[in-house]
Structure 1
Amino acid sequence: MNNRNIDFSMVLALTVHDMKNSLGMLLNSLDELRIRNATNQTDTNSFNTLQYEAERIHNDLVQLLGIYRLGENNLSAHIEEQYVPDFLSEHLARHLPLLEGLGIECSIDAEPLNGFFDANLLTGALNNIINNAIRYTTSQIKLSARESEGYLVIRVEDDGKGYPKSMQHTGTQSFKSLDFNTGNTSLGLFFVSAVADLHSEGDRNGCIRLHNGGELGGGVFEIWLP
């Protein structure tokens, strides 16, 4: 008789991984199709919807895999030196077709400094933050980076209505604080918080800060990395 002691959580993780890769290929194809149909406004609006929703699902799958690995104590940060302005520019480039299609202005204001972080983890975190900013902004998004109090601070701002009081947060979010009885579990917020916390130096760990205001007057999401 076959052994049917199946680890269902592992099956789900492998399935999510395959779905994530497929969606990545779909997003690349959408970029190519958008370029071919750039003159058709109706097609552009359709591409905006398709690309935003596909990107959102792709981000959800990335964070699900990250949270699974975190629960298995199998998620760690591989720290490497990165030139921050180049990292942000390269990261933003993948979002430009959608931003341009939606008519959203995006700018980068980064000090010429090097940071020490896991580029893959931070890419997943920033994708989550930017996707959220795209959803709630009115017309502008700004990425910035600076050094403050011995931390690298990467900030994403928008000119929307800002975060509600219940979401304004400083520090590290606990999994126990998530509310699965509401439509908004804040899993994305937990994932970004966990990514920041994986970055440490001595007795200092990374964290997130959410508040309103900034230069654009809307929501401000900050990742602080030691």
Structure 2
Amino acid sequence: MNLPKFSSLYGRIFAIFWLTMLLVLIAVIAASQFDPRQLHDVPSGPLQDMKEKGQEITSRYQNSPSLRTALMQIERNNVDRGKLDYYFNDTNGHWLNPPMGMKVRALNNFITQSDKSDLPQQRLYGRLMLAGPIPVVIANRELHMYFTVRWHQPPPFLLQLLDKPFQLLLAVMLTSTPLLLWLAWALSKPAMRLEKAAQKVARGVIELDPELEKGPSEFKQAGASFNQMVMAINNKISEQQRLLSNISHELRSPLTRLRMANALAIRKQGESAELARIDTEAERLELMINELLELSRRQIDAHQIRQHLSIQELWGDTIEDGKFEAEQQKKTLICHQIPNAFMTGNPNLLISAVENVIRNAIRYCERFVWVDFQHNNGGLTIKIEDDGPGVDEEELDAIFRPFYRVSTARDRHSGGAGLGLAITHSVVTQHNGHIKASRSQRGGLEVQITLPVDL
């Protein structure tokens, strides 16, 4: 079994788990070292005081005639009696001045653990600190001297944590929080990068993102796979667009020969309804092929050409050209101010999309065309209305299909091959937008385009 690498997500989770456990273990061991309820060596300062006290008692009572009398004098001379008491036992463990109450059990337990005079130790029993033994000589007898002190200091912080499980759990959570935050950041950052890249693809921005191949190895692999998918999509779209362009181009040659043969037939046989019909249909077919070539020429690799665009600069000239074209037909195009906002997209396709709708409205309006730009949190909405005959309700969705001709407003002599709105629909969809047609309150057709803007 291979050990997990730290560069992998599995390895980082594994390492953080065990590091947290290690910190808890260190805290428990450290708490036991500072726990006064465990047996510890007496600190150097108090140990020196204890030895000096033992030497003082030895020098004063070493040759006392009575052990009992000497012990009574030691107790009377203790000015800190009640706070600091002295207890003595012989080498057999018998107490010469027996303690009272709880001290008896505490001292009996303590001497079973600390009975070496060359290594005095201390331990806390409740609020009573015991220390010793210190060797002394009283009335020519070798004794062990023990000290008891009333303990008023608060227990160490780590000891308080060990005594209260809820606080210990809280401390463990607080200690592990920075590690968990780092782990969450290590997980969320590449995930957010992947999410943003997916959103860009959804908006039609199909481009490689080297940042996806950073972070834990699992996300590196996912990012590399995502970039491979983007490359495959780009290649498929480019192949499809080039295929459409090639087919359209190849169709022009036989169509040109067909029109030449029809012209020769008219020259030899004279005008006839059948030959005129052939010429009309060939002309329509040529118009369709020309529009297909124009469409394919604009769309080849257009999905890879994305720019940060100003809306005012993008469609400002389109509106001015539309006003001029309307004036030439004795019509009027009315447009309010274009908002100051920015978006990301292909400028040629976006200009063509709005231009197609405006020209369509100018062609079929009676006198007026209205263009309105609205910018809000949801994006950019472009509303184009006219006062023409409009479109029947049942045909509103169909007008965006390629080569579709509206029966009531268009015929074969009105111009166009029915690709303008289809091109607009394709461009808007590529830019993650929406387009819909409806009856205008002004009497004609209303086309509403919604596109995302840069925040």
Do the two structures share a fold, i.e. TM-score over 0.5?
yes
Q: Does 1:223 align with 2:449?
A: yes
Contact 2:314 2:351 in 1 (8 A): no
Correspondence for 2:368 among 125, 140, 145: 140
Contact 2:365 2:388 in 1 (8 A): yes
Give 2:424's aligned residue: 192
Correspondence for 2:307 among 74, 80, 84: 80
Cα RMSD for the two superposed structures? 3.9
Distance 1:8 1:121 in 2: 17
Give 2:192's aligned residue: none
Amino acid at match of 1:10: N
Give 1:165's aligned residue: 393
Distance 1:144 1:103 in 2: 21
Q: Which runs of 5+ in 1 are unaligned?
A: 1-6, 17-56, 200-204
Distance 1:142 1:158 in 2: 6
Distance 1:135 1:146 in 2: 24
Residues 81 and 207 of structure 1: is their aligned pair in 2 closer, same or farther, counting only changes over 3 Å? Answer: same
CA radius of gyration, larger in = 2
Identity, in percent, stands at 22
Amino acid at match of 1:133: A
Deviations 1:155-202, CA, capped at 9 Å, x for gaps: 2111112222233239xx676xx669x978743222111101111xxx
Correspondence for 1:128 among 348, 353, 356: 356
Distance 1:93 1:83 in 2: 16
Correspondence for 1:10 among 225, 228, 246: 246
Deviations 1:32-82, CA, capped at 9 Å, x for gaps: xxxxxxxxxxxxxxxxxxxxxxxxx99984554325776xx7441633333
Aligned length: 168
Deviations 1:73-92, CA, capped at 9 Å, x for gaps: 74416333333244333112
Where 1:96 maps in the other structure, the secondary structure is helix
Residues 109 and 14 of structure 1: is their aligned pair in 2 closer, same or farther, counting only changes over 3 Å? Answer: farther
| Mean Cα deviation higher: 132-141 or 81-90 | 81-90
Contact 1:63 1:191 in 2 (8 A): no
**Matched ranges for 1:172-183 at <5 A:** none
Q: Which runs of 5+ in 2 are unaligned?
A: 1-242, 253-285
Distance 1:141 1:64 in 2: 29
Question: 1:111, CA displacement in angstroms?
Answer: 5.0
Correspondence for 1:118 among 322, 342, 346: 346
Where 1:157 maps in the other structure, the secondary structure is strand
Where 2:336 maps in the other structure, the secondary structure is strand
Distance 2:439 2:309 in 1: 28
Contact 1:88 1:108 in 2 (8 A): no
Normalising by structure 2, we get a TM-score of: 0.31
Distance 2:372 2:251 in 1: 35
More strand by share: 1
Amino acid at match of 2:422: F
More helix by share: 2
Residues 62 and 8 of structure 1: is their aligned pair in 2 closer, same or farther, counting only changes over 3 Å? Answer: closer
Where 1:95 maps in the other structure, the secondary structure is helix
Distance 1:153 1:192 in 2: 14
Contact 1:110 1:146 in 2 (8 A): no
Distance 1:58 1:128 in 2: 16
Contact 2:251 2:289 in 1 (8 A): no
Normalising by structure 1, we get a TM-score of: 0.58
Larger relative contact order, structure 1 or 2 (CA cutoff 8 Å, min sep 6)? 1
Give 1:102's aligned residue: 329
Contact 2:248 2:293 in 1 (8 A): no
Distance 2:297 2:387 in 1: 33
Contact 1:139 1:159 in 2 (8 A): yes
Residues 63 and 87 of structure 1: is their aligned pair in 2 closer, same or farther, counting only changes over 3 Å? Answer: farther
Question: 1:150, CA displacement in angstroms?
Answer: 1.4
Distance 2:335 2:288 in 1: 22
